[in-house]
Structure 1
Amino acid sequence: MQISKRNLLTGAALAAALAAGYGLANLRASEVGETHGEAGHGEDESKAEEGFVPLAADQAAAAGVAVVTVGRGGGSDIRLTGRVEAAPNAHAVIGAPVAGVVERVLLSPGARVGAGGGVAVIRSADGALVRAEASAAAAEAQAAQAALAREERLLKAGVTARQDWEAARAAQVRASAQASAAQARVAAFGSPGAGGQTTLRSPIAGLVTSVQAAPGGFVAQGAPVAEVSDPTRLEVVFNVPADSAARLRVGDHLKLVGPDGRETPAEIVGVAPLSQGTTGAAMVRARPLDAGLTPGAAVSAQVPADGKGLPSVPSEAVQTLEGRSVVFVAEAEGFRARSVTTGRTGGGQTQIVAGLEAGERVAGRGAFVLKAELAKGEAEHGH
C-alpha cells in the first residue's frame, strides 16, 4: 500500500470538503488517475508499511489533525473548563489627565506602542496654568534659598540677629514645600509644557486597540482617549468546585486543550478559594507557557491528580478499523495505527487498558481523517 504525501490537499480545501460531507479520501479521488499514470508499476515495488499514514506535521495541522499527549486517568484527574482572557497587567486605558483639546493623535488602532510611548497630544489651558504656577513656585523657592544664605553670612558676621536668620529659614522651607507641591501637580496633569501641551503615554507595551478621540475634539479630565493591550500576556480563568480547588496549588502544571484540539502547557499562577460566594466555586488562573491561544476562546484542561491510573486519550482519538479499536500514534514521518484495548469512557476521555503508554503522542481531533486516508489507500492497493 502506498500513500503519497503529494496527494494530500491543502487545509482550506480539506475543511471545505469535510463541511460538504466528504473525507480526505474522496478529496484525493480526482488525482488518483494522475498518480497511477506517474507511478505505474512502481506502486507495487514500494509498498508503504501496513497501517502507516505518511504525513508531515504541517500537513497534519492543515488537514485538521491535532496531536495530543497521552495522560493518565482512572477517574482521579481534575477536569476544568475555562476561558482565555488578557492578564490583569496586559490591558491599559489611557485617560486624559487634564481637560483640553486634542491637538494630535499619534497612533491609530492596530499600531504597536512601547511602554512610555506617546499616543496623543492635547492642549489645555489648565495645563498651562499649573505649569506657570510651578515655575513661579520654583522661582520663589530659589529666592528664599538665596535670602537664607545671605542671612547666614550676616549672622556669622554678627551683623544680624538670630531671629532674622530663623525667619529666613522658615520662609525657605515653606517656599521649597510649595515648589514641590506645584511640581507634583504638574506631574498629575501629565507634565504639560509651557504652552499647555500634554503627551498622553502608554504605561505598557502592546497594540493600540481603540482610540476614542480625534484632532480638534475636546476631552474632559479623566475621559478615556485610547486603549492598549498586550496580546502575548494571556491567562486562562477557570471556575472550579471548592473540593477540586483545594487540591490545586500555585505552580502546578496542566495541559490546556483549545477549541481546535491542540494542547498548550500552562502553569497555575493563582487559586482564590470560594471567590464566587454565591456559587461556592473558586477561581483558578493559569498562565499559558506557549503561544497560540486566542483571547475569548473556550478551553479545557486536565490536571493529573496523583500520576496514577490508566492512560487516557480524548474519545475521538479512538477509531474502529476492521472491527478493532485503534489509535494513530505520531511518529517522525507520519502516524501509525496501533490496536488498543479500551476501558471506561466519560467526560470526553477514554481509558486505554492495553496498547498505549502515558506520555506517547497520538492524533486526537481529526483522527478520523487518518482512518479515512488509510482505508482509501488499502482500497487503491486492492485494485
Structure 2
Amino acid sequence: MTHRTLFLTGAAIALVATAGLGFGLGRLTDKTPAAAEGHAEEADHEENFIALSVADAAKAGVLTTTVGRGGGSELVLPGRVALAVNALAALGAPVSGAVERVHVAVGDHVSAGAAIASLRGAEGANARASVDVAAAGARAAAAAAARDRRLFEAGVVARQDWEASQAAADKAQAELRAARAQVTAQGTPSAGGLATLRAPIAGIITRVDVRVGAFLTQGGLVAEIADQSAVEYVFDAPPASVGAIKVGDEVLVQRPDGGEDSARIVAVAPSAVDAGAAVVRAKPTAPAPRIGSIVSARVILAKGAGGLTVPADAVQTLEGRAVVFVVEPKGFRATPVITGRAAEGAVEILKGLNGGETIAGKGAFRLKAELGKGEAGHED
C-alpha cells in the first residue's frame, strides 16, 4: 500500500510540473502569426535612427546632455603666402626684332617704367615712319581747312567746300592718333626701329628669357617682374565649410616663427568637381612672411555669445561624416554636423545643430555600434 501511494503521489507531481512548464512556454510563444507580422512592421528599419528610450539608453551606459555654448567659433585652415593677383607681370616682345641690349638681371629691383631690354626691328621702323607720314598729312589737311575757312568767310568758296576740307582734316588727325597708338604699343621705336621695353610695375626681376643677339618674334617672353610687397594668403578649406566662411571674416594667421598676424577674407571659391578643397584668399593687414611660406589660420566664424559646443564623446564618425545622436520622442537620430576646433574635451559645432537639442554624450559610441548592427541586420 505504501508503494502504491508513493507511486501515485510521484505521478501527480510529475503531471503538475509538466502542466506548469507547458503553461510557461505557452506564455513565451503565444503569438499568433498576425501578431508577429504586426510586430515586424513596427520594427521596420529607419535609416540613421535607433528606437531606444532615454531610460533604456542610460541603463546601457549612454548618458544624455544638452548643447552648450563656448568661445568664438573658429575653423583652422592650412595655407601659404602667395603673390596677389596683379603682382606678377610678364613682359613680352611688342614687335619682332633682334635683342640689342638687356638692361636687367634676375634679382634686380626695378621701378615702374625702368628699361628692361632693347630690340631693333623693321616693324618698329615702319611703325615710326607711319607716324611721320600721318603727322605730315594731318598738318597739310589742317592748313587746307584753315585756308578754306578764310576763303569762305571772304565769300570766295562755298560753305560745302570749307566743310569738306574740315572733314578731311579731322580724318587726318584720327589717322595720326591711330599711328601714334600703334607706336606706343610697340615700345615707341625710334626712326631706326630701336624699341626699349619698360617695366609695367615696380618689383623684382624673377625671370629673364632673352640674350643679346637673340631674335624674338612678337609676343615672345622677355622677362617677369614680381611685386613682392603685394602678397596675399591662400588657404585650403573643406568643401563642406564653404557656406560657413564669409567674405570679410577675420583671419588670425600663424606665422612660421610662431607669431600671429591678422588678415581679412577677400574671396571664397568653392571647390571644383572632384577637387579636394575650396580656396580661401585673405588680404594681410600687417607685413606678411616671405612668398612661399607655409602658414595656418584660425577663421573666426562667430562672435558674441560664442558658438555651439558638445562633449567630444558626442561626436561620432558614420560613413565618413561627423554625426551627433539627437534625442527624439521615440529614440536617437544620427544628425550630420560640421565641427570646428576641439579643446578641453569639447568640440565646436559650426553647422547641423541649433543649440536647443538634447544629445547623447558619454557612451554615444554604443549607439553608433548599435546602428551598425541594425544596418547589418537590415541588409541580411
TM-score (norm 1): 0.59
Q: Which has the higher mean CA deviation after the structures are superposed, 286-295 or 127-136? A: 286-295
Aligned residue for 2:75? 78
Aligned residue for 1:337? none
Aligned residue for 1:126? 123
Aligned residue for 2:285? 289
Cα offsets for 1:205-231 (capped at 9, x unmatched) = 111111111122111111110111012
Q: Are residues 1:108 and 2:105 paired?
A: yes
Contact 1:207 1:228 in 2 (8 A): yes
Q: Give the Cα–Cα distance (whole angstroms) in 2 for the partners of residues 158 and 264 of structure 1.
A: 79
Number of aligned positions between the proteins = 247
Q: Shift of residue 105 of structure 1? A: 1.1
Q: Give the Cα–Cα distance (whole angstroms) in 2 for the partners of residues 175 and 128 of structure 1.
A: 21
Aligned residue for 2:200? 203
| Equivalent residue letter for 1:125 | A
Q: Are residues 1:175 and 2:166 paired?
A: no
Contact 2:105 2:208 in 1 (8 A): yes
Q: Give the Cα–Cα distance (whole angstroms) in 1 for the partners of residues 288 and 163 of structure 2.
A: 68
Contact 1:73 1:351 in 2 (8 A): no
Contact 1:73 1:304 in 2 (8 A): no
Structure 2 alignment gaps of length 5 or more? 1-68, 309-338, 347-380
Q: Which residues in structure 2 correspond to 1:152-163 (within 5 Å)?
A: 152-163=149-160
Q: Shift of residue 181 of structure 1? A: 1.4
Percent identity reads: 48
CA spacing shift, 1:191–1:73, aligned 2, 3 Å: farther
Q: Give the Cα–Cα distance (whole angstroms) in 2 for the partners of residues 298 and 347 of structure 1.
A: 21
Q: CA RMSD in A?
A: 2.8
Q: Which residues in structure 2 correspond to 1:228-267 (within 5 Å)?
A: 228-267=225-264
Structure 1 alignment gaps of length 5 or more? 1-71, 311-345, 354-383
Q: Give the Cα–Cα distance (whole angstroms) in 2 for the partners of residues 188 and 197 of structure 1.
A: 13
Q: Shift of residue 349 of structure 1? A: 6.3
Aligned residue for 1:135? 132
Q: Which has the higher mean CA deviation after the structures are superposed, 276-285 or 88-97? A: 276-285
Cα offsets for 1:33-73 (capped at 9, x unmatched) = xxxxxxxxxxxxxxxxxxxxxxxxxxxxxxxxxxxxxxx97
Q: Shift of residue 75 of structure 1? A: 9.2
Aligned residue for 1:306? 302
CA spacing shift, 1:351–1:256, aligned 2, 3 Å: farther
Contact 2:249 2:300 in 1 (8 A): no
Q: Give the Cα–Cα distance (whole angstroms) in 2 for the partners of residues 268 and 93 of structure 1.
A: 27
| Equivalent residue letter for 2:143 | A
Cα offsets for 1:232-263 (capped at 9, x unmatched) = 22111123234422222322221112344332
Cα offsets for 1:180-210 (capped at 9, x unmatched) = 1111111221211222121111111111111
Contact 1:276 1:283 in 2 (8 A): no
Contact 2:72 2:300 in 1 (8 A): no
Q: Shift of residue 305 of structure 1? A: 2.5
Q: Shift of residue 77 of structure 1? A: 1.6
Query: Which of 1 and 2 has greater Rg?
Result: 2
| Equivalent residue letter for 1:286 | A
Q: Shift of residue 352 of structure 1? A: 9.2
| Equivalent residue letter for 2:126 | L
